[in-house]
Amino acid sequence: MPDKTILRALAGETLPVPPIWMMRQAGRYLPEYRATREKAGDFLSLCYTPDLAAEVTLQPIRRYGFDAAILFADILLVPQALGADLRFVTGEGPRLSTVTTQADFDRLGPVSDIHETLSPVYETVSILSRELPRDTTLIGFAGAPWTVATYMIAGRGTPDQGPAHALKAENRALFEALLERITEATIEYLSKQVEAGAEVVKLFDSWAGSLSGADFDAYATAPAKRIIAELKARHPGLPVIAFPREAGDKYIGFHKATGADCVALDNSVAADWAAANVQTDGCVQGNLAPGHMVTGGQNLIDETRRIVKAFSNGPHIFNLGHGITPDADPANVQLMIDTVRGA
């Protein structure tokens, strides 16, 4: 077997140099990505054209030699596969048909039907599993149920996930039925990615931080635990990364509460704090502020070194605290990588 450092870190090994990849590493900051997206015509066509989706996934691997590639797709493909109308508005983001009533929910399709829509994604995974360098780990992913639900309820991204919180308060049964449908679909979707060749899967709960107390436990922790348990039952040995973004103190114990092999950390928590409180339970991933990919310079070098040092006594995958932004400078990505690897 090739030496896949990310798999070693996920297995709990402390490595002298942490492996590195980057959320949204295939993205608009790269000129080659922009050219391929233009060729595809629009974002969803890029997601659903396996050759092109594989191409943009491979581009940052060719350019930078990251230790992992993450499948190019979008968390909102699952709602679309369940029957939601989905489009992306240039400069504004996604727009979906909403689920706010029982009638809306009843129009969603069964989980068993999602694979017809999502089959191009599985083909992309198959292409990548053949074409990636032998020492590069292939990561599949999905959105966590709470985060996906916030988009399905509001029909778009919102600053405070207010519509989802309102439905949760006003019609808890409908809200929980929607989460259940998303949870079941997520299990099936990720399982198919693994069957197609994904070696690791990551669960993105981008809006977990807007949940608190018992709601966090019920709607962030519990669905992640269920998804991870089912995937590991179907695919023994499968490593899973969980990312409950902006969880704060709720990061503590998240490994044990969910069964995740690695907890990804956003940049609102300090690396020293996370090393003392989260890394004690297993591998952590993160957590450089994405803004450093824009500004670069000595601050980027210093902060990268600080994070590497903070996590040096346990298993660590170096990454950003959130996705790289379109205004990032590709040269700063190389500077970050060189700094991590000690060049």
And the tokens for 101? 């009533």
- 151 closest CA partner among 213, 74, 226: 74
The CA–CA distances, whole Å, from 194 to 14, 23, 93, 112, 254 equal 25, 19, 28, 17, 23
- Classify burial at 158, counting beta carbons within 10 Å of its beta carbon; exposed 0-12, middle 13-18, buried 19 or more: middle
Concatenating the DSSP letter of every residue in 284-331 gives EEEEE-TTHHHH-HHHHHHHHHHHHHHTTTS-EEEEESSPPPTT--HH
Q: What is the DSSP letter of 268?
A: T
- 282 closest CA partner among 246, 307, 257: 257
Q: Are 29 and 327 in contact (CB under 8 A)?
A: yes
What phi and psi, each to the nearest 5 degrees, are found at residue 168? -60, -40
Active site residue ranges: 24, 28, 37, 74, 151
Amino acid found at 297: G
Amino acid found at 93: G
And the tokens for 297? 């310079």
Q: Where are the beta strands (DSSP E) in 47-99?
A: 68-70, 86-89, 93-96
